[in-house]
């Protein structure tokens, strides 16, 4: 779901949830700065054309392609037959395969790898530019610096005087910590994992939520 990345980041900065606003922002900035530095160093150490995980997947597909029979249809279209007799149509120009894996993942499947072996097209060149090591490097080119401090109570170099907190009232109740459910998430979904009600021995609820007559 779309909220997964937000929840993952929310877990990373969980320690800063109780911090004051300025301290929270500084914690997030420092965390991102360290993350970018570590990933930038890892990306610079890699010497291949594709990112490590994609490179490993392409190598696995290459090993699986050695048992496939390839017949040319045109300069860029090929029929690839598996040992089971099943045939697949590969178009290297459009980046498609009848197995649907090529266009869905944008990584050359084993049939595309086998077809590329009959041409002068590089197997690595069939992968989407998103998986190139250069793209990986450029993703972490940006550097995150600290915010310059200003002397005394001066804010932004223009305002002088005491810096007071915002003139607002804190809303009643305990601040919300749990994430807001997205469409499709149901907090009232039946329980899973083999838990049973100790009253009726039924599944999907417990004794506290059992409303039928005893």
Calculate mean pLDDT across residues 148-175.
Answer: 68
Residue with tokens 């965390």: 31
Residue with tokens 């045939």: 87
Cα-based distances in Å from 9 to 1, 38, 91, 179, 214? 14, 17, 39, 12, 46
How far apart, in whole angstroms, are the C-alpha atoms of residue 75 and residue 175? Answer: 64
Calculate mean pLDDT across residues 29-34.
Answer: 92
Read off the pLDDT of residues 177-202 as tens digits, 9 standing for 90 and up. Answer: 776 777 766 666 555 555 678 778 77
Global confidence as pTM: 0.63
Beta-strand ranges (E) seen in the chain are: 69-72, 77-81, 87-91, 96-97
**Cβ atoms of 199 and 212 closer than 8 Å:** no
8 vs 107, more confident: 107
Confidence of residue 131 (pLDDT cuts 50, 70, 90): very high
Beta-strand ranges (E) seen in 44-191 are: 69-72, 77-81, 87-91, 96-97
- Residue 129: burial class (beta carbons within 10 Å; 0-12, 13-18, 19+): exposed
């Amino acid at each position: 779901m779309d909220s997964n990345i937000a929840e993952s980041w929310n877990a990373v900065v969980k320690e800063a949830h109780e911090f004051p606003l300025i301290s929270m922002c500084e914690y997030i900035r420092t965390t991102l700065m360290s993350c970018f530095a570590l990933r930038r160093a890892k990306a610079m150490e890699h010497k291949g054309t594709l990112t490590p995980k994609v490179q490993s997947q392409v190598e696995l597909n290459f090993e699986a392609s050695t048992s496939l029979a390839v017949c040319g249809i045109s300069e860029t279209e090929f029929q690839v037959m598996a040992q089971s007799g099943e045939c697949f149509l590969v178009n290297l120009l459009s980046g498609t395969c009848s197995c649907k894996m090529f266009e869905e993942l944008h990584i050359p499947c084993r049939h595309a790898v086998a077809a590329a072996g009959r041409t002068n097209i590089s197997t690595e060149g069939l992968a989407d530019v998103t998986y190139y090591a250069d793209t990986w490097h450029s993703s972490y080119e940006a550097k995150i610096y600290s915010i310059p401090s200003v002397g005394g109570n001066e804010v932004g170099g223009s305002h002088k005087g005491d810096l007071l907190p915002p003139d607002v009232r804190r809303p009643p109740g305990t601040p919300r910590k749990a994430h807001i459910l997205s469409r499709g998430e149901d907090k009232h979904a039946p329980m899973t994992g083999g838990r049973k009600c100790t009253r009726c021995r039924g599944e999907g609820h417990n004794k506290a939520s059992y409303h039928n007559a005893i």
